[in-house]
Structure 1
């Protein structure tokens, strides 16, 4: 019956599982694959943008290093201040040196330096192989030169530069980098320009730097961005498309929005990813049809579905096998338990042929049956002991009354014969006995524990002829709290016997205090007699396993504290100046108005 139920259950569960899993897997995997493909596309664009940003960043960094080159700055400053052939030659030499260093670090073309003097631009005369330019003399001045100006050899004036749009844009940028297009000889360059400023407080214009990079380099970088069958565009700061060439100078703002960046799906269901190129305000935009992104995951989804179907069939076959494998030992243990229910408590199961959990189950069953047998035996023995304890308790109730009556008789005889010391000792002993017994209860009120301790001190002071004085100071709020009975008396006894040398000490002082600290009761028993050896006390409180303790008083207190309140509550001994101090710290517990048997005077009168 169990085998049949297991088989049906597994079949139903697996069928439901197949339906749910196929549906969930199809949705989850499809969504995950689509998300992953989108993520891959975005990451590809991000990597490409980082590569292009790195290219521009290196270009800006190295170009800026050229601009702050100290030797070039000095040559440009001399040229701007003094002019002359030597200054022009120095500008040319330092410019060639700095530009050569830039070319070694960057793949750039047509790097030009235009020094400035008296607000006018100059250019290297090597750009004019005929020795001059149209409308200029050999010194570089228009129309035969300007009156009062010294001719400058090595460079020629270039007043036409000031009117060019890229120059005006660069000068207006105030020392910042400007990126513009430059078409020369059927080739397109990206022109990076910057005004070189003096490094003094005036920050004068010393020169204009022009660095050209072939657009083909950027085109190669853009083509390396893998976006399936989509396109990647490079837009300038005006939103015009620079790359690819097939869309050259088309308005990118209409397609991608003016100044927009981020990632979104447009109305044509294309994924558009726009990322800025830092420092120049240009942008990279990727346009990828979503159908191309999703098509890349279709084959993967088919594989996942096929694997899922095979896995479910395998699970179904395994379910049939395990339903048989599991049911056989379970049915067996069920039959054995029926025998136990009929009263056969000696039956056991052979677990030697089982493995794994079933072996553990069989062994646990046998262990349970052994435990049941032991418990039955223990309950039987406990019943016998309970009867014996009841008889002993009845007997114990007789003994205290006999002792109380005997002590009361001695008390009256001491009064009759005027033996006041004996009378006082008998009364103290009776008080101690009454609080010690406490009607069989383990807990006692603090005020009753103090009475018991005071009675013990009275006995010892009579015995040792007042060789020590005593003082008890207990915080009033503690009187109604409860503690374990006979907790303080062993500490007082230890102080008198070892501290005051059993009466051989003179003028000793014994002080007992009780205070409430942080929700706990703290008792201290202090004496100024012989100081205790803390190492010896530690060995008494925590003796080695094979060592029989020589003293049981304070060890008994320590053990009862740990048993009643927990391991953190122990008896502590300290040396404070001339005092040996025993400290007990226990939780604060109120009696709720009950005396816990401490105030019961039964047994104190004659019987």
Structure 2
């Protein structure tokens, strides 16, 4: 049977089901992962927006307080007569009264602007200065040191006439970083100070930012914050105001804002898993885990329900295609469709087996009938020749020869009239040929010479009975000549070819040989059927082909020294009747009843 070669353009059902499963599972899994990612990014965005809002609210409040303090100082310098009088030298009493009048309003300004550390008023012409302070950092001694440091700083700038009265600026005074603003009217000025460390370490907690605060100046120097936490360069900014970083395995979120020339960065640790704490996120995580866990179970289930039954059916079909008609699918099926397919398949194979046996039995019976008919065509020919010899001997009165002839003829008739077997061994066939040579020599002037040269490996091979005997009869009938005694030789050689061992059987005589026309007919045309010439040769070749198939070859030639040669080439394998079917109709019927 020709091997099945699958079409490369077609896919197996198993592969198609896996593709369909993957086509559904993979997009669903990707969608779940995308949803998780989107939920995580949404959680991050919400947290970053909250941090940014708190930081912007703080900077906006601080900016408003700075603007309020700046407006107050500008209004004071432009509209307050007492402040303006301090710009000129006056009597000591008036100067104290004006200084006191200005100072009276400062506590209210500091109370309203709680980010202000203090306000210092200085009148150079009257050599007066006074300060009003809010909540300062540290103990009473530390607060006193801050006050003295601030007043000394402004007095020194006033004396040196280097006081900056154009805008806010930062300055480090007494180890503390301050944001300063001064407004002057001639030789009198008022200044306000904001303690950045105090504001960002204490006040900012009121805005829900309890992480790390980093404040950088105009030169990108760190003004406020722990130097060990200076991670500004490690931040990956997703936009100008928010970003994230990874520090020693800790995920941190960053928010950024600007105030005057200050850059303010708020850092706060966060847990990425904590961003998925919502009901939708939890449901998505559980659904994704269930999908991933279900994949092996689904594949295992599909293997038991679909793939394994399919493999059993395919293997069974392959075995049947190789000639094993007894093969049947074996296995337990879990669905009705495969059970129905299995039962239908078994019924179909049983029916095919019965039809094949019936067909072969009919073919075998036809071949046996044809073989028997061919044998009956041969028998009258032999018998008539023998009766002619008996008649000739009777005319001569050779009683002893007649007795011997009858003995040999009885042995011969017993052989050709036997119905017990269709084939005979080569050794027995050659013995019958020797018997026939003796039979043909009785009553003749010169006995028929008989010789044999058979390879021992061929003695037990099976031949249709009377096959070589028919060839020998042709030699005796057509090979006799008047000038020499007839000699017949039967040879058998075992040849080794590429397709396997071949038996070369040859029957040759030393007679006149074949004519050119006979050689042409025998070698170039098929042997003629009954009713024509060469009936005996036709029967021999036809019976050999019924037994050995189309691999039988034959050749008719003339010997180098004269005489006819007829060679038959037979494959050395089991006869056709022994291959693929019972040896007899009775055995076939018995096997069929057993299967049924």
TM-score by length of 2: 0.34
Higher relative contact order (CA 8 A, sep 6+): 1
TM-score by length of 1: 0.34
Of structures 1 and 2, the larger Rg is shown by 2
